Amino acid sequence: MAEIIPIARLALHEQVAYRLRALVVEGRIPPGAKLNERALCDQLRVSRTPLREAIKVLAGEGLVDLLPNRGAIAVKLDEADVLHTFELLATLEGMAGELAAQRVTEQEVVEIRAMHYEMLACFTRQDLPGYYRLNANIHSAINVAAKNPVLTSIYRSINARVQFLRFRTNQNEAKWRRAVQEHERMVQALDARDANALRSVLIEHLLQKRDTILELMRTGEIDASAAEAQVQPVSRAQVTE
C-alpha cells in the first residue's frame, strides 16, 4: 500500500487572517475604521470564532488595534507616526541590506532575482496587488538574508503598521516606475555583494515612500476616515499577503 503523505493546510483562522489582511492592506477596510464582525463573517463566510482569532493575529502584527469595549479598528497613523515609523524602518532596512550583502547565499540571490522578474511582469500588467505581494516578499527576503533573527522580528512588527500606506504609494504611475527602478538597483547591489550600495538604495527607497505618503496624507488622497467600513468583495485571486 502506498504511503499516505499528509497535506499541510492552514488552520481556518489563518486562512481568515490571510484574507482579512488583504482587506486592511489594500484599503477595503480604511484606516481608523471599525471591523464590523457581522459584515466580515458574511463576507468571508465564517463564524465569529475564527474571525476573532484572525483579528487577534492581525493585532499581533500591528495591523489592527484592539480597544476595550469598542472592538477592533484598522490601525490609523498620523503624520508624526509616519515620520517616526519610517525613520526607524529606513535604519532597519539599511542595516538588513548591509548585512544581507555580506551574508546572502547564491540560492537566495537567485530566488530574489526570480521574484524581481515576476514583480516586473506585474508592473507591466498594472497588477498592483500582485506587484505589492512580490515587492513585500523581496523586502522580507533581503531581511531574512541578513541572518539576524532579532533584526527580522523587530522589522516585521514595525513594518506591519505601515503596510496599507506602502501599498498606496504605487498608485501613482511616475512614483510606481521610480520604485521599480530602485528595486532594479537593489538586485544589482545584492548580486554584486555591495553592502554600501544596497544599504544606500534601501534607505533612499524607504525615505521616498515616506515622502510620498506624507504628500498623499496632506492632499487628502489617503482617506483616514474613521467611519465604519463597508466591506467590499474580495476574491481569492485579489488577496495580498
Domain ranges, residue 92: 79-218
Model confidence, pTM: 0.74
10 Å CB burial of residue 186 (0-12, 13-18, 19+) is buried
Can you tell me the distance from the alpha carbon of 143 to that of 152, in angstroms, rounded to the nearest whole number? Answer: 6
100 and 208 both lie in a single domain: yes
Same-domain status, 108 and 94: yes
Q: What is the pLDDT of residues 178-230, one digit of tens each?
A: 999 999 999 999 999 999 999 999 999 999 999 989 998 888 877 544 333 33
d(CA 11, CA 199): 37
What is the distance between the alpha carbons of residues 71 and 36, in angstroms, rounded to a whole number? Answer: 9
pLDDT digits (tens, 9 = 90+) for 173-186: 888 899 999 999 99
The predicted structure's pLDDT at residue 135: 93
Q: Tell me the range of 25-29, 71-75, 217-221 where mean pLDDT is highest.
A: 71-75
Q: Are residues 133 and 189 in the same domain?
A: yes
Q: Which helix (H) or strand (E) holds 108?
A: helix 106-125
> Could you tell me if 112 and 24 lie in one domain?
no
Cα 77 to Cα 212: distance, rounded to the nearest angstrom: 15
Instruction: Scan for cell 495580498, then name that residue.
Output: 240
Output the domain CATH number for residue 38. 1.10.10.10
Reported confidence tier of residue 168, pLDDT bands at 50, 70, 90: confident
44-53, 60-69, 182-191: segment of lowest average pLDDT: 60-69
Question: Which band of pLDDT confidence, cut at 50, 70 and 90, is reported for residue 166?
Answer: confident
- What is the spatial distance between Cα 195 and Cα 228, in angstroms, rounded to a whole number? 45
pLDDT at 5: 41
State the pLDDT at residue 229.
36
Tell me the C-alpha distance between 206 and 89, whole Å. 7
The three grid cell numbers given for residue 174, joined into one nine-digit string: 511616475
Res. 240: pLDDT tops 60:
no
Q: What is the mean pLDDT of the chain?
A: 85
Q: Residue 32 has what pLDDT?
A: 87
Give residue 170's pLDDT band: very low, low, confident or very high (50, 70, 90).
low
Same domain, 168 and 193: yes
Residues 46 and 104 in one domain: no
Number of domains in the chain: 2
Q: Do residues 149 and 30 both lie within one domain? A: no
Residue 220 confidence (pLDDT): 83
